[in-house]
Amino acid sequence: MENYQEKIFITELPRGYDAKKIYRLLNKHIESDFLKDYIDSSVSNDIMIELVFKRGKQPKLEEVQNKMLTSSSLTPNYTLISERGVRIFNRPEEIIQIFTEQRLVVVKRRYELLCEEYERKIRQNNEIIKFIKQKEYEVATRSANRKTFVEHLKKKKFTFSDYLADMPIYRMTKEEVARRKLMVKDDSAKLKEFQKIAKSDKLVRKKLVEELLDVKGQLNEWLKDRAKEKKELLKKLQKKSKTGSTGKRTKKS
């Protein structure tokens, strides 16, 4: 519950409660003469139910909380479904432990794949440098067609023969060679870093912690935005209340 400018709103439902169950509870408090009415302005998952009391009998928030306090007796369990079947856990820490172990495997594999990708990029750029320096592109002008040019490059042990065959002639310059050499240098530095991480369990754990902290920061920002939206919604409801507007009212069950 929240108190906003002397009005009290229910902004969160207890575990196991849906709209029908909360209406039944509120109607009981109306029948017991504790509540006069309630106005449900909830939208989607944003719960916003204003509690209306008789004139001159507006209680304090603490009194309402004590009077209307309710809880669920549900005992949660935690189910994990995987290719190995279904497992039931009693404590969330058990699932967190499994999650952590699996995420470490994923993080390690990610850096292994990055190593493979950067090794490929380095090989490709080195071949481009060799291709331009040896002026292999001049053979294209004497080749009958693209196919014979590609076959020539394969015989010269070029791995990326198809890529080289499609490079435009205007890029066969010293400037392009210098640019590719710089790319090889930068990629080699990154490859060394990724290889170091992939081979170290300690660094893999460090990277996982960094990822989780980043997610935590994004989640905190999301929660701040949600709190801001809820505050704006409360202001709009207060404004509507002053002008005599009302929300959706359910019938007593």
User: 165 and 195: one domain?
Assistant: yes
User: 226 and 160: one domain?
Assistant: no
Average pLDDT per run of 10 along the chain, which is 253 residues long?
71 80 88 88 81 83 78 62 77 86 95 97 96 90 88 93 91 94 97 97 96 94 88 75 52 43
**What does the pLDDT read at residue 221?**
94
- Measured CA to CA in angstroms, residue 76 lies from 22, 70, 72, 92, 115 at distances of 21, 17, 11, 10, 43
For residue 10, tell me if it sits in a domain: yes
Q: Note down the domain range covering 15.
A: 2-72+217-242
User: 31 and 108: one domain?
Assistant: no
The whole-model pTM stands at 0.61
CB within 8 Å of 203: residues ≥ 6 apart: 196, 197
For residue 142, tell me if it sits in a domain: yes
For residue 103, tell me if it sits in a domain: yes
Residue with tokens 């794949």: 113
For residue 30, tell me if it sits in a domain: yes
User: 180 and 97: one domain?
Assistant: yes
For residue 84, tell me if it sits in a domain: no
**What does the pLDDT read at residue 245?**
45
Percent of the chain with pLDDT over 70: 89
Query: What's the number of domains the chain is made of?
Result: 2
User: 194 and 229: one domain?
Assistant: no
Instruction: Report yes or no: 50 and 241 within 8 Å, Cβ to Cβ.
Output: yes
For residue 83, tell me if it sits in a domain: no
User: 136 and 226: one domain?
Assistant: no
User: 45 and 103: one domain?
Assistant: no
> What are the tens digits of pLDDT across the range 194-248?
999 999 999 999 999 999 999 999 999 999 998 888 888 777 776 766 665 444 4
- Measured CA to CA in angstroms, residue 115 lies from 16, 80, 104, 111, 192 at distances of 48, 32, 17, 6, 8
User: 115 and 25: one domain?
Assistant: no
For residue 180, tell me if it sits in a domain: yes
User: 61 and 105: one domain?
Assistant: no
Token digits for 1?
A: 């519950």
**What does the pLDDT read at residue 64?**
82
For residue 56, tell me if it sits in a domain: yes
Give all strands (DSSP E) within the chain, no chain letters: 2-4, 7-10, 37-40, 49-52, 78-82, 85-89
CATH of residue 19's domain is 3.30.1360
**What does the pLDDT read at residue 218?**
95
User: 96 and 17: one domain?
Assistant: no
